[in-house]
Chain A
Amino acid sequence: MELKVFRFRPGMSGPRYDSFEIDPVPGMTVLAGLFRAQEKDDTLAFRYSCRGAVCGTCAMLINKVPRLACRTQVQDLLEGKAPVQLSPYPALEVTVPLDSRKEVLIEPLPHLPVIRDLIVDMSLFFEYYRFIEPVFSPAGPEPEKERPMSPAAVKELVPYTNCILCGACFGACPVNARNPHYLGPAALATLYRFHIDPREAGGAPRLRRADTPDGWWGCEFHTNCRRVCPKGVPPNVAIGRARQEIKAASRSAEGRGAGR
């Protein structure tokens, strides 16, 4: 089989695609395949760390789906298993011919500038993460022991605390493709995580931070984010609920205004 890999370095007018012939081994992941390719051409650049789908380093566009390279089995791709249907956006358009029974196409995560080959500059993604102020701000003074939390409340939070900030959702979002100012699914999901943390109740009014056209209101509910998330985080649910709450709050404020 062959890995067809996007190559780019500063000075090139555009990308080129290099093919690497790899002996497929059972259980081989795309990341493992990339390491073999790198042993043949040590100028090939890609990020890696945990190789176990927990650190979020190696999100890239694999056969036109943003995924973690370390979690994606080469054999599954060749056999066409577990296809992911996505709402279209420009990065998914055909760039290069692909025989998906013999080849795997590997390109950098969309919507972020390419530094080299498969390495993108994540600055914008983390700028939006910082923008939502992801710092726990509890209400009231610090107790001596833990602030109690019901297991049910924990269960509500966990889908969002599971985010590993890999950026797959950012690279899968048709709105991010069009609007570089849109905060994106991961940042919004994190903001919602703090909003629903019962230990913050009565603290900072969190939802307002993204009550803008580039925040909660930018989402078009393509739900690509949910479909590509390697950790099952549902940003679309967070965004939908946030919008409902904001609407409800403004309705009740209007109601109060009318009654005055």
Chain B
Amino acid sequence: MAGYISPEEGTGITEGAISAWDAVIIGGGLTGLRAALQVSRAGLSVAVISKVHPLRSHSVAAQGGMNAALGNVLGEGGAADSWESHAYDTVRGSDYLADQDAVALMCREAPATVIELEHMGTVWSRLGDGRIAQRPFGGAGFPRTCYAEDRTGHNVLHTLYQQVLGRKIPVFEEFFVTSLVMDGGRCAGCTALEIMTGAIHGFASRATLLATGGFGRIFSRSTNALINTGDGVALALRAGAPLKDMEFVQFHPTTLYGTNILISEAARGEGGILVNRTGERFMARYAPHALDLAPRDVVARAIEEEITRGNGFDGGYVQLDLRHLGAGRIMERLPGIRQIAMDFAGVDPVKEPIPVQPGQHYSMGGIDVNTGGMSGLPGLYAAGECACISVHGANRLGGNSLLETVVFGRLVADSMIRDIPSVAEPARGPVESAMAGTETGIRKILGRSGGDSPFALLHELEETMFLHFGIFREGQKMQEGLRKIKRLQERSLQVTLSNKESAVNQALVRYLELEGMLQLAEVVALGALAREESRGSHTRRDYPHRDDGRFLAHTVATMEKGKVTIDYKPVGLGMFEIEERGY
């Protein structure tokens, strides 16, 4: 029948193949694409592997903007912004857990990064004089956030994708990476399942970059795309790389009630206010100076408190009121937000307040890397949300994640480019045996019978994480959550799929994701239990204060033979004094 692909015509079952590269980049979002450009420009061979088409990456959903001390818009009293001021806000926002050298590096590189994207074609919103516009964001002392309306991620991702097309960089779309290939303690590439055909492929590489994004989907009520399952973080953990600060999970204050789609902080940056059921602007009680533009951890806790105290609306939400901004400003600066509210809640923010509640939003923790993106394993690098450098510490400021992706996409690529010439061509043997291991593993999964479906376990995991490791945490409740996670891990070994094919088997992909998610959930749980203090996003009812004596330290988690061990390492200090954090 014309129009349909038959097995003989190519997209049917194909044999897996091994290919060799100087660098393999896993993930096709902002970090991955920026890194790919850099490696390609250096004349090295590079391939991007992504489980979705690159334009479907979660980067596309970033709304508000990218922070950079361009100084195009002056602050109060005519003061000009500086990278030092950006660094100070970031470190304070992190509740002093960010590494100050990494923060300084990111903030110094920020203005050039925004300009670089402009030079690649990004259509930033502009001031009347033609320069790039900037707006206020939470926890920032200056209007510092550059933006493309409220579709900044979309605009930047499309720009970088276009540049990648321009350089004809090969992209393996809809390839799910199943393992990192280890050869004598060194990462020598990866194996991947081609989702549409079921073929297993091998990628031998001198340098491998994980740029796979966060693991927000281990929680229910997440703003994240459904694909944000932390695959890269789990790959690194299984390969033996340490993870860092995994208990620090950001809950965004304003997600749309019902679907938890993000309502950008830009809505408050432009002047939107939060009100409870009595119509009170309650942030005045929680952050008398910064009000609605306090950092996200502060605002999320405030909303959750209001709801808990019965000051929320029925169902558990508060309202974000934009009406006083007027139709013109809403349509000019926040058109995407208006569209989302209308499409998904049937609310036009020009006429009605938007119902919002906090929801999981960002993974501050991730693969433990240094400022060069080097993980604990030679040959393996990580950058972007899957990594923890750490520039966000215990709480990320809005507008800093897009910045991190593009800055460190470039800088980590530079460190790969520097290292690659001294690395010998990887041997095929370990790649071949990893491919065989993946084949056997998948055959085993498909051969099971009598267990739960992956969907059932996924729902239970999400609910467990939300209930036991949400905004407010407490020792006993977390212990109970950890036990649930362990039971889910056991049950997952018996998960059974009705679909027994290897080609286009989305249940299989969901299961492979779930395996990693359950491991990450355990690491989050163990880190959160061990950290007996409240810092940034990690708030314990039983330990309500920050404890710098014991916990001004990064949590480091490693897994050996399936057992997770928690340890600590010092935070990079030196630029700013540790202070009490008030807003």
Residue pair B159, A136 in contact (C-beta under 8 Å): yes
| A36 CA / B227 CA spacing, docked (Å) | 17
Interface string of B338-350 (1 = CB under 8 A from A): 0110011100000
Interface string of A119-147 (1 = CB under 8 A from B): 10110000000100111101000101111
Residue pair B11, A115 in contact (C-beta under 8 Å): yes
Interface assignment of B506: CB less than 8 Å from any CB of chain A: yes
Interface string of A17-51 (1 = CB under 8 A from B): 00000000001000000000011011101011111
Chain B residue at smallest Cβ distance from A133: B166
Residue pair B259, A42 in contact (C-beta under 8 Å): no
Query: What number of B residues sit within 8 Å (CB to CB) of A?
Result: 68
Interface assignment of A11: CB less than 8 Å from any CB of chain B: yes
Residue pair A197, B118 in contact (C-beta under 8 Å): no
Residue pair B55, A150 in contact (C-beta under 8 Å): no
- By a CB distance below 8 angstroms, the chain A residues around B559 are none
Residue pair A14, B504 in contact (C-beta under 8 Å): no
Chain B residue at smallest Cβ distance from A150: B130
Interface assignment of A113: CB less than 8 Å from any CB of chain B: yes
| A95 CA / B470 CA spacing, docked (Å) | 48
Report B170 CB to chain A, min CB distance, Å. 13
Residue pair A50, B225 in contact (C-beta under 8 Å): yes
Interface assignment of B115: CB less than 8 Å from any CB of chain A: yes
| A47 CA / B57 CA spacing, docked (Å) | 13
Residue pair A42, B497 in contact (C-beta under 8 Å): yes
Contact check: which of A56, A57, A116, A157 meets B123 at CB < 8 Å?
A: A157
- By a CB distance below 8 angstroms, the chain B residues around A147 are 118-119
Which positions 1-34 of chain B face chain A at CB distance < 8 Å?
1, 3-7, 11-12
Knowing A13-B1, A121-B5, A161-B123 are in contact, say whether A43-B151 is a contact too (CB < 8 A): no
Interface string of B116-139 (1 = CB under 8 A from A): 001111011111111110000000
| A164 CA / B59 CA spacing, docked (Å) | 13
Interface assignment of B433: CB less than 8 Å from any CB of chain A: no
Interface assignment of B53: CB less than 8 Å from any CB of chain A: yes
Report B400 CB to chain A, min CB distance, Å. 20
Which positions 113-169 of chain B face chain A at CB distance < 8 Å?
114-115, 118-121, 123-132, 148-149, 151, 154-155, 158-159, 162-163, 165-166
- By a CB distance below 8 angstroms, the chain B residues around A138 are 119, 121
- By a CB distance below 8 angstroms, the chain B residues around A114 are 3-5
| A150 CA / B131 CA spacing, docked (Å) | 8
Residue pair B225, A56 in contact (C-beta under 8 Å): no
Chain B residue at smallest Cβ distance from A156: B123
Interface assignment of B61: CB less than 8 Å from any CB of chain A: yes
Residue pair A49, B226 in contact (C-beta under 8 Å): yes
Interface assignment of A92: CB less than 8 Å from any CB of chain B: no
Residue pair B56, A57 in contact (C-beta under 8 Å): yes
| A164 CA / B157 CA spacing, docked (Å) | 11
Interface assignment of B52: CB less than 8 Å from any CB of chain A: yes
- By a CB distance below 8 angstroms, the chain B residues around A45 are 504, 506
Residue pair A71, B343 in contact (C-beta under 8 Å): yes
| A217 CA / B12 CA spacing, docked (Å) | 36
Contact check: which of B3, B58, B119, B259 meets A49 at CB < 8 Å?
A: B58
Knowing A11-B7, A115-B5, A119-B504 are in contact, say whether A49-B227 is a contact too (CB < 8 A): yes
Contact check: which of B4, B58, B125 meets A8 at CB < 8 Å?
A: B4
Interface assignment of A246: CB less than 8 Å from any CB of chain B: no
Interface assignment of A165: CB less than 8 Å from any CB of chain B: yes
Contact check: which of B119, B149, B159 meets A158 at CB < 8 Å?
A: B149
Interface assignment of B326: CB less than 8 Å from any CB of chain A: no
- By a CB distance below 8 angstroms, the chain B residues around A144 are 115
Report B388 CB to chain A, min CB distance, Å. 24
- By a CB distance below 8 angstroms, the chain B residues around A157 are 123
| A215 CA / B202 CA spacing, docked (Å) | 40
Interface assignment of B583: CB less than 8 Å from any CB of chain A: no
- By a CB distance below 8 angstroms, the chain A residues around B159 are 136
Interface assignment of B498: CB less than 8 Å from any CB of chain A: yes
Interface assignment of A202: CB less than 8 Å from any CB of chain B: no
Report A66 CB to chain B, min CB distance, Å. 16
- By a CB distance below 8 angstroms, the chain A residues around B132 are 146
Interface string of B89-120 (1 = CB under 8 A from A): 00000000000000000000000001100111
Contact check: which of B4, B118, B498 meets A10 at CB < 8 Å?
A: B4
- By a CB distance below 8 angstroms, the chain A residues around B52 are 47, 49, 57
Residue pair A49, B56 in contact (C-beta under 8 Å): yes
| A11 CA / B501 CA spacing, docked (Å) | 14
Chain B residue at smallest Cβ distance from A155: B332
| A119 CA / B173 CA spacing, docked (Å) | 14
Residue pair A50, B58 in contact (C-beta under 8 Å): yes
- By a CB distance below 8 angstroms, the chain A residues around B5 are 10, 113-115, 121
Chain B residue at smallest Cβ distance from A51: B226
Contact check: which of A55, A145, A153, A161 meets B60 at CB < 8 Å?
A: A55
Residue pair A145, B504 in contact (C-beta under 8 Å): no
| A145 CA / B68 CA spacing, docked (Å) | 13
Report B167 CB to chain A, min CB distance, Å. 9
- By a CB distance below 8 angstroms, the chain A residues around B505 are 43
Interface assignment of B499: CB less than 8 Å from any CB of chain A: yes
Chain A residue at smallest Cβ distance from B258: A27
Q: What are 19 A-B pairs at a CB distance below 8 A?
A: A41-B498, A49-B52, A49-B57, A49-B225, A50-B58, A52-B344, A71-B343, A116-B503, A130-B165, A135-B163, A138-B119, A146-B115, A146-B118, A149-B123, A150-B130, A154-B124, A161-B148, A161-B158, A199-B121
With A50-B61, A52-B262, A146-B115 given, name 20 new contacts (CB 8 A).
A8-B4, A27-B259, A38-B506, A42-B497, A42-B499, A52-B261, A52-B344, A54-B154, A55-B58, A55-B225, A56-B55, A57-B52, A57-B53, A115-B196, A135-B165, A136-B120, A148-B126, A154-B125, A164-B55, A197-B123
